[in-house]
Amino acid sequence: MNYDLNEDQTAFKDTARKFAEQHLAPSAKQWDENAEFDKDVFVEAGNLGFMAMYISEQHHGIGLSRLDSALIIEELAKGCTSSAAYISIHNMAFNMLSRYAKPALLEQWCDGLASGKKLASYCLTEPGAGSDAASLTTKAQRDGDDYIVNGAKAFISGAGKTDLLVVMVRTGGAGAKGISCIAIPADSDGISFGKKEEKLGWNSQPTCTISFEDVRVPAANLLAKEGDGFKLAMEGLDGGRINIAACSIGAASAALKHTKHYATERQQFGKAITDFQNTQFTLADMLTNLTASRQMVRLAAYKLDSNADDKTIHCAMAKRFATDVCFDICDQALQLHGGYGYIKEYPIERYFRDARVHRILEGTNEIMRVIIARKLLEDVNSALID
């Protein structure tokens, strides 16, 4: 296997790195402190194709592979992990629209979403349906040429500031087979937004509940067909897990870079703290775990690009490993900074806070273990082990 990046991939990384350094990193501290959602930066990202990375060129995207996209997201996360994560979520929602919406809906939304002038939210989680997504209760009832939507969604990234909601709703009976997916304009009558949640991290993007009260939506806004919603949601999450793992790698990589510089300059007992074996061993473990995480994510992205039969377990393993290990790297970076790591003058505490939620969203890491174990135990020929 060739682990080297090709010329195009190197160019993608370089472009994303420059964008992160020029447009994300300088404002990341301000966005975090002010809990701001900077729409202008997403328009700038749209100019480079980052708001439609793996969307087909037919729908105004740049048609990258999931591996190429993960390379970009990792670089963006080094500048502002929270903003990179929102770009990932926007791409996930847009991709679902691109693949399953009817032509008229695509004509209405694709240009705006690709340019970053319009933003999308992915709406699955509910107040009573988190890890058990198949138990969601938001209901869409057919009424002539429309659906009438009632219910609520929780912890929705970008809610209140985005323009299109890709929503999982119940159109049939209980369980996964009764779920459908529908695209709803965020300014539709009957939609209201709760208070902006005050969060540990991810402060550059708003998060709140969304309530739907007799919201009328054209039946033509249905993605795929009735009953396909859970399949679409899980399909989207395979890629979402790669993206969020890539965000963790970006955060951990930036934290390690800052720590190497700090530890080289910091003097204690008359010498740099990098002269102490304990510091050297910690840095060595941080780099080793970062590299292992990066390779797992790239393998999972390759599996998804290849539509391999085992793509889901590889996405779950990569997400579980990378988000756990990279959070530990951020924690070790903070520890090596000592008291300085705990104050906001240094960026380490922000990477630490922003990376923590990655172990929860796109399926908690406990759910990742359920998926991995289930696939392993179903593997009667032990191909996964061999």
Active site (catalytic) residues? 362
User: Minimal CA–CA distance to 371: which of 381, 362, 358, 382?
Assistant: 362
> CA 52, CA 21: separation in Å to the nearest integer?
20
Task: Tell me the helix, strand and coil percentages in the chain, rounded to 5.
Answer: 60, 15, 25
> CA 183, CA 314: separation in Å to the nearest integer?
29
Six token digits for residue 196: 């902006």
The runs of H, that is alpha helices, within 166-276 are 229-265
Q: Where are the beta strands (DSSP E) in 17-145?
A: 120-123, 139-143
Radius of gyration of the chain (CA): 21
Amino acid letter, 384: L
Q: For helices 103-115 and 39-47, what crossing angle results, to 10°?
A: 100
